[in-house]
Amino acid sequence: MRRGCALALAMIGLALFSVADAQEVETLEIGGGKIEVAFGSPPTVAQRSLVLDWVSSCARAVTVYYEQFPVARVLIRIRFFDGRGVRSGQTFGWNGGLIKIAVGQSNSATDFARDWMMTHEMVHLAFPSVVERHHWIEEGLSTYVESVSRARTGDLTPEKAWGDLVDGLPQGLPQSGDRGLDFTPTWGRTYWGGALFCLLADVEIRQRTENRKGLENALRAILQAGGTIQSDWELTRALAIGDRAVGVPVLTELYGQMKSAPAPVDLEALWKKLGVKRQDGRTEFDDAAPLAPIRKAIMRAN
């Protein structure tokens, strides 16, 4: 599955619009966040209900993962296109946060349930803006936390969430000529290389803390320290805050290994240790695998 979204790193184009331009605005309150959903053209009663249910599910998943909605206020601007699906997600650090996204006129509840993009965009709200060479951490977090958070609320089965990681992560492995995550700005290294960093960090934090802490504890601490999309931070500052929260310097160490060197990873060995078997499009779990408790803790339903 190709993933792409345009995360605006700076407050570009603030003359975008105002809420008043939209014809319909609905407000949801989830996880302490005020979520304004603005429709660019009047939806039908059924479309309004489907869109609001979808936004609510994604907001709940992100809220469960971070134990709060990432920002006090976000405006979500919905544009309809002919057909089905969800496209063109963009997230901006603007007056809390702004997400622009396009949805199919003919979308059913199943089409919305299949979408990963809205959750991905909401996760962007929950990490500080960093300079361009670290873009992989922004897209990697959104790619990884999207699956994990939706598994935790039951919107994805663990089989689907792990299966997507097994299928996707090989695209994040270093190819020949790789110069590390900070210096190899390819699509694969940005989205899936960043997600690989997140999975490795999650597993390592859990191994070193006897599965008491995970990546979410680090990310919650970064958010609580004010690290939202609206803040411009040094990446090392965010990683240090995360490390302090979990009590082990996994993020800083892993960044040191992966930032300017290929740091290849044996994914097959990792899946075996976690007890994830993927064959012919089916995912099965091995609970006798040494890291099976860590695998379960990562996607555990709340």
Report the interface residues with Zn ion, using CB under 5 A: 5, 7, 139, 142
The phi and psi torsions of 272 (rounded to 5 degrees) equal -65, -45
Which CB atom, from 92 or from 271, has the smaller least distance to Zn ion?
92
Q: How many CA atoms lie within 13 A of 27 on its CB side?
A: 7
User: Phi, psi (5° rounding) for residue 21?
Assistant: -70, -30
For Zn ion, the closer of residues 150 and 295 by Cβ is 150
Q: Tell me the closest approach of the beta carbon of residue 122 to Zn ion, in angstroms.
A: 10
For the chain, the maximum distance between any two Cα atoms, rounded to a whole number of angstroms, is 57
The residue among 101 and 222 lying less far from Zn ion, judged by its C-beta, is 101
Q: CB nearer to Zn ion: give 3 or 295.
A: 3
Instruction: Indicate the residue whose CB is closest to Zn ion.
Output: 5
Nearer to Zn ion, 43 or 89 (CB): 89
* C-beta of 5 vs 118, nearer to Zn ion: 5
The CB-of-100 to Zn ion minimum distance in angstroms stands at 12
Distance of closest approach, residue 130 Cβ to Zn ion, in angstroms: 13
Q: How far is the CB of 195 from Zn ion (least distance, A)?
A: 11
Distance CA 276, CA 199 (A): 14
Which residue number, 5 or 248, has a Cβ lying nearer to Zn ion? 5
Task: Give the start-end residues of each E strand in the chain.
Answer: 6-7, 24-30, 33-39, 73-81, 86-92, 98-104, 276-279, 282-285
Q: Which is nearer to Zn ion, 121 or 182 (CB)?
A: 121
Residues with Cβ within 8 Å of 84's Cβ and at least 6 positions away in sequence, in order, are 104, 106, 107, 108, 111
Report residue 145 CA to chain centroid gap.
4
Give the residue carrying structure tokens 């990697």.
Answer: 140
CB of 268 to Zn ion, least distance (A): 28
Closest contact distance (angstroms) between CB of 7 and Zn ion is: 5
Rounded Cα distance between 113 and 119, Å, is: 11
- Compute the distance between CA of residue 13 and CA of residue 8 in angstroms, rounded to an integer: 10
Task: Compute the distance between CA of residue 302 and CA of residue 296 in angstroms, rounded to an integer.
Answer: 12
The whole-angstrom distance between residue 288's C-alpha and the CA centroid of its chain comes to: 29
Task: Give the position of tokens 């699906």.
Answer: 85
Output the CA–CA distances (angstroms, integers) from residue 79 to 36, 102, 291, in the order listed: 14, 5, 44
CB of 116 to Zn ion, least distance (A): 10
- Phi, psi for 191 (deg, rounded to 5): -80, -55
The nearest distance, CB 142 to Zn ion, in angstroms, is 5
